[in-house]
Amino acid sequence: MKKKNIAITVENLSLVYRSFSKFSIKKHLFSLKKMLRKKYVALKNVSFEVYEGTIVGIIGKNGCGKTTLLKVLGNVFSPDSGIVDLHGHSVSLMAIGVGFNNNISGYENIFLSGMLLGFSEEEINEKIDEIIEFSELEEFIYDPVKNYSSGMVSKLAFSITAILETDIILIDEVLSVGDINFKQKSFNRMQELIHNSDKTVLIVSHDMKVLEETCDSVIWLHDGEVKMNGKPKTVISKYKEFMKVKN
């Protein structure tokens, strides 16, 4: 059997959110240096490897750092420390409207998003009709995105990522978009991408049954740290036991 190459290497990845205290802002309105900043550790010394062509689930309670991790891997957030090496692979994050400019049209945003994903104008041109058709937004595609409903933005965002295929696909469970027919179409498309042996997939989900049946491995995050990383059945079983005790 041919040995699989590594698609993603993460070493000692840490990210801290910083925000100003409302009380402090009022108290020190004219002295910004004295303002207190709250710190929230979203990721702490996270390390793991993902092999090409594998499907990796990411689990954990709300606020444990799952979506933050995807956004770091998808180049949306920059970590405070640590290493992320994609080994030359292209990556896309299925997230709602990341990189969209609300003042330009949906059509122009397809090119903007595509270029942010690393595609050339020529490559996007080859796929743009398919993206528009999949999004079901033909009638509105030249309107400014600021005039779109949240459902329309979701449809466009999903369609761009689903049609402009990258080597690594990051999927957040929050992507439940559009009406019932579009949801089914989106689900079918995600299944195609997930089960393509050329694609490496990281998926955040609370659906333990789907992860156990679909994934090659599962990473359990707890309070921003990797608590466990291994076979889906083993990790999910330990996670369920832990959550029962906590609740």
pTM over 0.75: yes
pLDDT digit string, tens, across residues 10-37:
999 999 987 655 544 455 555 555 555 6
* The dihedral formed by the CA atoms of 134, 135, 140 and 145, expressed in degrees to the nearest 10: -150
pLDDT digit string, tens, across residues 76-107:
899 999 999 999 999 988 765 566 899 999 99
Q: Where are the domains of the chain?
A: 54-79+90-246
CB 134 within 8 A of CB 163: yes
We find that the CATH architecture of domain 54-79+90-246 is 3-Layer(aba) Sandwich (3.40)
Q: Give 14-69 as a DSSP string.
A: EEEEEEE-HHHHHHTTT-GGG--EEEEEEEEEEEEEEETT-EEEEE-STTSSHHHH
